[in-house]
């Protein structure tokens, strides 16, 4: 992986850190009982994996640890001997073994997941690395760090993981065929596609490799296709193929009139965008990472060279020897807390609409527009849950909270969708949503190591963050090493298995088999399982993203009240 | 899907949906000796939407006392069960393994159920916020009337669930019903927003904003306001924490669609003929599935009519598939039912696209006028009108489409200025032109 890590010097000293401060780990922070020590008795599972960096993501851990942990009774996996938990502190239920912290023989002690109440104090609040931002990138970084004997916390202002850009995107796992060759993004998307494809198979994240067709609707677009194929080749994607109008019609029979040809891009896939950060976060938590939600960082203080950062949050104070900024839309504002002013985020809104399952047969591939002067344009794509998605718009805004849809935006998508696939005009709209992408005015990611600050910013992920997430995480580990993080030996991660909302559940209890959401066939058992999962939902939206309850054609008209009642009765801290 | 092998069963008639239409169909079928008649209901309790509806308007009992929704549901369930129909709740039909062979999910496991005839009575729902393309944030507190009823059923009138100040969207009597429902639950009604004329809503004791569109929903977490734009083009912000979407019914057509049945435009129910037969042999349809929002008593009557068609089919007296020329709405009419005329002249149900003052109705086929007549009263969009079989007498069952048109001299783009009659009165009350 050849990337262009830009280790920019800190451009400000607002926090009082001398820019020339040595980037070496100092003595342990406050408290004598810092637990960030390598396991005293590394078992065989702790041996470094035989393959280099990225392989650790998908293959180093699953086999042996899975096998060894299968004999671990879940009830034995408890935080033993830990300081008494705070009011909001809770040890998550665990399904696997292997611990970075004091675990014996590679059995993990899960981290804490909390949403409210004061943060842990003293040594419990002292971390080697704090990752700020629990979107798909932050969760992936936390998961990558969990392979090492480090005390790691993942914090987010929202009350669930993936609550920002990560929950409202086009749900596509890109190959990176159309990236600008030689950019950081091009390399990371390409690697990330491979890693996430393997990881999804391993963890059960729904993925469908339907492939993409870049459809040319006029001569100018058709003339651009060979150039796009050449660009794809420069990005290492040589399997693209030009299709004439007849073959295109054969492969995509419901396409609207006027399509002149297409570039076929095998490997472009659709993926569940919600299970992905959730799988990362769950695996990080199961392997010892603390997840603090509802925890907005309001200031960062660095007392002196070598001393840890002091993060003041809405829930209390944390210290971190190293910091990762994965704040997405707020990456520039978090940078500012450390006196860094590299870039400004301009939110780019993408509105999308989703058709019901009845429309699924109308579309076989991801139908991409040929990029033009006005950006990437509107795509039509199936989803792993059998919907058809149309979008996104691209509107540059100032308001970082403007996740609303607009009448013009939706009407435009309706019209564009019907032009690409006319049958969509007769289909009901099941859902509409809008997401904000973190554009920075530069057509590449902005990943920067600030060794003097022991601080890494992973920003400008205005698109493709889901696709690149696992490769980005490895890249960030490299940047952290530049900042002096000594991660210690790598050990396999205890595996996670995500429940597939599409699959029938094996519940034997008839009460758990009762269907609550009829549109999506979600049973009471599936809802209860999600509410009891390592990273449980905070509200009906989170429950919907985990189980599909309320995501169907009636949008919760039928099940909304029943789902809410379950959340109130069984949710850990479900009231928002 | 991995799971246990489905158990296979056979019945004579399978009715999907235990609402007014399904229960009435099952009661008649079982009483007439159609064999094993089984009704599937995906809800935990039978009765359909009336089960949740307070207030009268659900017909009367044997002694003529008016029934409320739950009363209607109880009576309908009792009649079906007494007649010998088997009623199974918590059981959903999910698809078709083959014609007349339904895939069913029950708490006891998956099943396939073979039937000699199937009656689809799966009802309808009001279109969701997304289906109406209402822009803005995805704040909580946006319900359809059906969703509000279910919330009240589960939580009771808790303000943190149903809000304190509501706006109602809709321009037919369903909006009035929602206003009553909200007031009964202690929720103030800030306004009723009508996409069309206000006449359909009538007097509700709250501001009625006619010809007004919702342009944005605002609020993070809970709904904060609804921004509307009136006929003068001016925007207004209505502060509220609840928005109730009424009317605009769409069929619960998943099972019908899974059978590959063609759908009628608008309500999106399966195409059916005058004998309530769909285009799939042996598959019948009735009730809200064919047109939502009607009174429960009409759905029940349709269920009984469908049962008659099923009995004729099972006895070999009639074909089990829809037939006849298509019936199409023309001019100012929004909808005509049935979608296919059937083997012989039958009644029509017409619905206007706007208020029509004493319109001239014309039924024609292949350029030949079957009947033309002026209505003595206004035709209101929210009150379908039944035209007797005499209107289609002489239609050629093998001929071209039967066109049903209406003209009140205002032209299709016109708007009746006299759209002032209160909803709920008799049709004739509106005739002022």
Residues B351 and B205 both lie in one domain: no
* pLDDT of B286 strictly over 80: yes
Q: Could you read off the pLDDT of A317-328 as tens digits, one per residue?
A: 999 999 999 999
Q: Is A57 exposed, middle or buried (0-12, 13-18, 19+ CB in 10 A)?
A: buried
B53: in domain: yes
Report yes or no: A329 and A165 within 8 Å, Cβ to Cβ.
Answer: yes
B425: in domain: yes
Predicted confidence at residue A374, as pLDDT, reads: 61
List the one residue out of B213, B334, B333 whose CA is nearest residue B265. Answer: B334
Tokens of A239: 């399997």
ipTM of the complex in this document: 0.90
Residues B349 and B239 both lie in one domain: no
Residues B203 and B172 both lie in one domain: yes
Residues B254 and B187 both lie in one domain: no
Residue of B nearest to A411 (CA): B133
* pLDDT of A525 strictly over 70: yes
Predicted confidence at residue A146, as pLDDT, reads: 98
* pLDDT of A89 strictly over 90: no
Cβ contacts of B90 on chain A, cutoff 8 Å: 514-515
Cβ contacts of A409 on chain B, cutoff 8 Å: 135
Q: Give the distance from residue A119's alpha carbon to the nearest chain B alpha carbon, in angstroms.
A: 24
Report yes or no: A126 and A30 within 8 Å, Cβ to Cβ.
Answer: yes
Judged by CB atoms closer than 8 Å, whether chains meet at B147 and A406 is answered as no
* pLDDT of A10 strictly over 50: no
B402: in domain: yes
Report yes or no: A381 and A171 within 8 Å, Cβ to Cβ.
Answer: yes
CB contact, 8 Å: B150 with chain A?
yes
Q: Which residues between 389 and 418 in chain A have a beta carbon less than 8 angstroms from any beta carbon of chain B?
A: 401, 403-407, 409-411, 414
Residues B117 and B133 both lie in one domain: no
Cβ contacts of B129 on chain A, cutoff 8 Å: 555
B322: in domain: no
Predicted confidence at residue A302, as pLDDT, reads: 78
In this complex, which of B107, B144, B216 lies closest to A557 when CB atoms are compared? B144
Residues B117 and B253 both lie in one domain: yes
Q: Which of A226-235, A413-422, B262-271 has the lowest mean pLDDT?
A: B262-271
* Residue pairs spanning A and B at CB distance below 8 A: 110
Judged by CB atoms closer than 8 Å, whether chains meet at A557 and B146 is answered as yes
Domain termination site, one of B185, B213, B245: B245
B95: in domain: yes
Three-state DSSP class for A23?
Answer: coil
Predicted confidence at residue A376, as pLDDT, reads: 64
Judged by CB atoms closer than 8 Å, whether chains meet at A576 and B128 is answered as no
CB contact, 8 Å: A562 with chain B?
yes
For residues A392 and A166, give the distance between their C-alpha atoms in angstroms, rounded to a whole number: 14
Judged by CB atoms closer than 8 Å, whether chains meet at B42 and A515 is answered as yes
Judged by CB atoms closer than 8 Å, whether chains meet at A521 and B94 is answered as yes
Three-state DSSP class for A135?
Answer: coil
Q: Give the distance from residue B432's alpha carbon to the nearest chain A alpha carbon, in angstroms.
A: 37
A98 band by pLDDT with thresholds 50, 70 and 90: very low
Judged by CB atoms closer than 8 Å, whether chains meet at B130 and A407 is answered as no
In this complex, which of A353, A409, A560 lies closest to B147 when CB atoms are compared? A560
B276: in domain: yes
Residues B230 and B253 both lie in one domain: no
Cβ contacts of B156 on chain A, cutoff 8 Å: none
Q: Could you read off the pLDDT of A323-352 as tens digits, one per residue?
A: 999 999 999 999 999 999 988 999 999 999
CATH number of the domain encompassing residue B361:
2.60.40
Residues B121 and B145 both lie in one domain: no
* pLDDT of A62 strictly over 60: no
Domain termination site, one of B245, B273, B301: B245
* pLDDT of B422 strictly over 90: no
Cβ contacts of B144 on chain A, cutoff 8 Å: 557
Residues B136 and B150 both lie in one domain: yes
B345 band by pLDDT with thresholds 50, 70 and 90: confident
A508 band by pLDDT with thresholds 50, 70 and 90: confident
Residues B58 and B112 both lie in one domain: yes
What percent of chain A is predicted at pLDDT more than 90? 73
Higher pLDDT, A14 or B268: B268
Report yes or no: A286 and A110 within 8 Å, Cβ to Cβ.
Answer: yes
Tokens of A124: 């419990």
Cβ contacts of A557 on chain B, cutoff 8 Å: 125-126, 128, 143-144, 146-147, 150
Judged by CB atoms closer than 8 Å, whether chains meet at B128 and A358 is answered as no
Q: Give the distance from residue A402's alpha carbon to the nearest chain B alpha carbon, in angstroms.
A: 8
Cβ contacts of A428 on chain B, cutoff 8 Å: 127, 131, 250, 268
* pLDDT of A26 strictly over 60: no
B2: in domain: no
Residues B112 and B261 both lie in one domain: yes
CATH number of the domain encompassing residue B158:
3.50.50.60
CB contact, 8 Å: A560 with chain B?
yes
Averaged pLDDT, A392-397: 92
Q: Is A428 exposed, middle or buried (0-12, 13-18, 19+ CB in 10 A)?
A: middle
* pLDDT of A515 strictly over 80: yes
Q: Could you read off the pLDDT of A537-546 as tens digits, one per residue?
A: 999 999 999 9
Averaged pLDDT, A74-79: 32
Domain termination site, one of B266, B290, B314: B314
List the one residue out of B329, B129, B168 whose CA is nearest residue A404. Answer: B129
CA B311 to chain centre: 24
Cβ contacts of B126 on chain A, cutoff 8 Å: 557
- HSE-up (13 A, CA, CB side) for residue B204: 33
Q: Could you list the residue range(s) of the whole structural domain that residue B219 is in?
A: 128-245
In this complex, which of A503, A557, A561 lies closest to B153 when CB atoms are compared? A561
Number of domains in chain B: 3
Higher pLDDT, B333 or B173: B333
B319: in domain: no
What is the set of domains in chain A, with CATH numbers?
1-209+267-345+441-498 (3.50.50.60), 510-570 (no CATH)
- Under the phi-then-psi rule, with left for phi > 0, alpha for psi from -120 to 50, and beta for the rest, what region is B427? alpha
Question: What is chain A's mean pLDDT, rounded?
Answer: 83
Only one residue has tokens 């549109």, namely: A519
In this complex, which of B107, B125, B137 lies closest to A557 when CB atoms are compared? B125
Averaged pLDDT, A451-463: 93
CB contact, 8 Å: A169 with chain B?
no
Residues B241 and B254 both lie in one domain: no
């Amino acid at each position: 992986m050849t990337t262009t890590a830009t280790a920019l010097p800190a451009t400000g000293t607002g926090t009082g850190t001398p820019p020339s401060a040595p980037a070496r780990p100092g003595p342990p922070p406050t408290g004598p009982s810092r637990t960030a020590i390598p396991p005293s008795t590394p078992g065989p599972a702790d041996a470094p994996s035989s393959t280099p960096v990225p392989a650790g993501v998908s293959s180093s851990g699953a086999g042996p640890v899975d096998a060894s942990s299968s004999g671990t009774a879940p009830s034995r996996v408890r935080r033993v001997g830990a300081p008494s938990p705070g009011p909001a502190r809770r040890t998550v239920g665990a399904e696997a073994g292997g611990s970075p912290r004091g675990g014996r023989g590679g059995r993990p002690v899960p981290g804490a997941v909390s949403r409210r109440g004061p943060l842990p104090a003293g040594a419990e609040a002292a971390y080697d690395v704090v990752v700020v931002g629990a979107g798909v990138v932050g969760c992936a970084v936390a998961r990558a760090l969990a392979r090492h004997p480090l005390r790691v916390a993942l914090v987010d202002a929202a009350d669930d993981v993936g609550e920002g850009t990560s929950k409202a995107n086009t749900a596509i796992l890109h190959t990176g065929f159309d990236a600008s060759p030689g950019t950081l993004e091009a390399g990371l998307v390409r690697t990330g596609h491979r890693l996430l494809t393997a990881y999804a198979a391993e963890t059960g994240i729904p993925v469908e490799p339907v492939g993409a067709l870049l459809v040319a609707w006029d001569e100018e677009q058709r003339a651009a296709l060979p150039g796009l194929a050449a660009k794809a080749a420069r990005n290492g994607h040589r399997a693209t193929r030009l299709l004439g109008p007849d073959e295109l019609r054969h492969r995509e029979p419901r396409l609207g009139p006027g399509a002149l040809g297409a570039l076929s891009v095998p490997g472009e896939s659709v993926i569940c965008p919600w299970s992905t950060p959730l799988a990362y976060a769950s695996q990080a938590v199961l392997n010892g990472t603390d997840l603090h939600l509802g925890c907005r960082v309001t200031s960062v203080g660095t007392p002196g060279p070598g001393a840890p950062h002091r993060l003041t949050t809405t829930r209390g104070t944390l210290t971190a020897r190293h910091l990762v900024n994965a704040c997405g839309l707020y990456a520039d504002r978090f940078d500012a807390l450390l006196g860094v002013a590299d870039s400004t985020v301009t939110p780019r809104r993408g509105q999308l609409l989703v058709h019901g399952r009845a429309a699924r047969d109308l579309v076989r591939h991801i139908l991409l527009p040929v990029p033009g002067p006005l950006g990437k344009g509107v795509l039509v794509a199936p989803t792993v849950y059998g919907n058809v998605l149309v979008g996104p718009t691209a509107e540059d805004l100032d308001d970082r909270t403007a996740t609303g849809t607009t009448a013009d935006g939706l009407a435009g998508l309706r019209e564009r969708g019907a032009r690409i696939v006319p049958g969509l005009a007769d289909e009901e709209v099941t859902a509409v949503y809008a997401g904000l992408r973190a554009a920075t005015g530069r057509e590449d990611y902005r990943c920067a190591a600030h060794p003097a600050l022991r601080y890494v910013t992973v920003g400008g992920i205005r698109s493709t963050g889901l696709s690149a997430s696992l490769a980005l995480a490895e890249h960030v580990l490299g940047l952290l090493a530049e900042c002096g993080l000594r991660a210690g030996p790598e050990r396999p991660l205890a595996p996670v298995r995500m429940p597939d909302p599409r699959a029938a559940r094996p519940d034997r209890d008839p009460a758990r088999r009762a269907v609550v959401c009829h549109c999506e066939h979600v049973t009471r058992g599936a809802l209860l399982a999600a509410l009891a999962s390592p990273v449980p939902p905070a509200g009906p939206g989170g429950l919907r993203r985990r189980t599909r309850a309320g995501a169907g054609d009636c949008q919760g008209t039928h099940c909304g009240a029943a789902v809410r009642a379950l959340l109130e009765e069984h949710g850990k801290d479900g009231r928002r | 899907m991995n799971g246990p092998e489905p158990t296979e069963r056979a019945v004579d008639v399978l009715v999907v949906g235990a609402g007014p239409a399904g229960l009435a169909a099952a009661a008649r079928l079982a009483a007439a000796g159609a064999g094993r008649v089984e009704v599937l209901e995906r809800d935990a309790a039978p009765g359909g939407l009336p089960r949740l509806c307070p207030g009268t308007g659900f017909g009367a009992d044997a002694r003529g006392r008016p029934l409320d929704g739950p009363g209607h549901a109880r009576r309908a369930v009792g009649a079906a069960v007494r007649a010998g129909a088997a009623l199974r709740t918590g059981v959903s039909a999910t698809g078709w393994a083959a014609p007349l062979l339904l895939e069913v999910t029950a708490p006891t496991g998956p099943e396939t159920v073979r039937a000699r005839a199937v009656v689809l009575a799966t009802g309808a729902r009001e279109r969701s916020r997304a289906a109406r393309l209402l822009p803005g944030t995805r704040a909580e507190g946006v319900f359809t009337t059906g969703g509000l009823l279910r919330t009240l059923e589960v939580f009771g009138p808790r303000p943190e669930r149903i809000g304190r100040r509501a706006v109602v969207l809709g321009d037919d009597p369903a909006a009035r019903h929602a206003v009553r429902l909200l007031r009964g639950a202690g929720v103030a009604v800030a306004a009723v927003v009508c996409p069309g004329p206000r006449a359909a809503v009538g007097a509700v004791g709250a501001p009625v904003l006619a010809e007004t569109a919702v342009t944005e929903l605002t609020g993070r977490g809970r709904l904060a306001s609804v921004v509307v734009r009136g006929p003068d083009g001016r925007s207004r912000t209505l502060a509220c924490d609840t928005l109730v979407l009424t009317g605009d019914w769409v069929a619960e057509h998943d099972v019908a669609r899974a059978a590959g049945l063609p759908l009628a435009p608008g309500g999106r129910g399966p195409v059916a003929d005058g004998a309530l037969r769909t285009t799939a042999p042996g598959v019948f349809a009735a009730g809200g599935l064919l047109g939502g929002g009607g009174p429960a008593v009409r759905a029940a009557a349709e269920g009984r009519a469908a049962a008659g068609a099923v009995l004729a089919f099972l006895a070999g007296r009639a074909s089990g598939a829809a037939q006849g020329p298509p019936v199409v709405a023309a001019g100012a009419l929004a909808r005509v039912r049935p979608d296919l005329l059937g083997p012989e002249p039958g009644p029509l149900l017409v619905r206007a696209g706007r208020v029509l003052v004493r319109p001239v109705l014309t039924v024609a086929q292949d350029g030949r006028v079957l009947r033309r007549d002026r209505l003595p009263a206004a035709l209101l969009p929210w009150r379908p009108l039944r035209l007797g079989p005499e209107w289609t007498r002489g239609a050629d069952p093998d001929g071209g489409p039967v066109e049903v048109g209406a003209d009140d001299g205002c032209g299709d783009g016109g708007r009746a200025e006299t759209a002032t009659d209160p909803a709920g009165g008799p049709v004739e009350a509106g005739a002022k032109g």
